[in-house]
Amino acid sequence: MDLQAVREVGRAVSAAHHFVYFVPEVAEEAAEFGVADRAPAYFATRSAAMGAVPWQVTLATFYNFSPRAVESMTGVWDAASPERWQAARFTAVDRSMRRVGVDLTADQIAEARSLIDPVVAGADYAGKPLAAANASVELPSEPLVALWQQVTVVREWRGDAHLVVLANNRLGPCDCNVLQTATGRTPTGMTRATRQWNDDEWAAATARLAARGWLDEDGAVTDEGRSVRERIETETDEHCAALWEPIGDAGARRLASLLAPVGEAFTAAGTYGRLR
């Protein structure tokens, strides 16, 4: 596989999936279960595919959140079963895609499924817990939402692979957030608010990265730090190359183009305004 094709389809998959973490429909569906806070709703909907796991399992599979952030999900399985949380997630996805006007024809959805289905079916799920859990979920009847769930499987597969790469590079759960924000990949304020690492933990992670030469004494990323962060992305792409082999470079690029309208519709609707 051409790693550039792997990178392109990975970006398209992420863009077609991650609106679910920002749209108001998820909070509205969670409110039906009496869960008003955004954090536990996020953890419940994303980890529902694994079943009624304790929060510590969610922490292990999500990696970059602090324990205090994930512990907020305590009680979500009492509010509703994982199956109901999963159904609520699908409802929120359907509602939000209709709201922003995601415009994929039946033929485009069918073509996208013809490309992504063999990828999902042929994937090696060893060491890929979130991907494996999502691959076990029964697909909903709405075609566009069913496509989104297949997208979710491969998105989580890449995420699971990325965690392996982070661990191999000795980038711990807080450290990877510090490097991510220092390189400008995510906003510091939003990252700290959602991952909930405290000042002491953030400072300790910053010191560890500075000791490795990846940040300077002021906490700014160095050239070496930028190089390392890009190398981590490349290593993740290398890990993911086998995932896309069933459809090859051309199939991966075609799938990326078919999925593009999903991300474009949510961007145009202002979904990601707080990321700027």
pLDDT in tens, 126-161: 999 999 999 999 999 999 999 999 999 999 999 999
Burial of 125 (0-12, 13-18, 19+ CB in 10 A): middle
The per-residue pLDDT for range 18-32, each reduced to its tens digit, is 999 999 999 999 999
The per-residue pLDDT for range 104-135, each reduced to its tens digit, is 999 999 999 999 999 999 999 999 999 999 99
Whether the predicted pLDDT of 219 surpasses 90: yes
Mean pLDDT, the chain, whole residue set: 97
pTM of the model: 0.96
Instruction: Please give the tally of structural domains in the chain.
Output: 1
Residue type present at position 158? R
Q: The domain containing residue 64 runs over which residues?
A: 3-275
Per-residue confidence (pLDDT) for residue 274, from 0 to 100: 67
Burial of 267 (0-12, 13-18, 19+ CB in 10 A): middle
DSSP 269: T
The per-residue pLDDT for range 230-254, each reduced to its tens digit, is 999 999 999 999 999 999 999 999 9
Instruction: Give the residue-averaged pLDDT of 176-191.
Output: 95
Residue type present at position 136? S
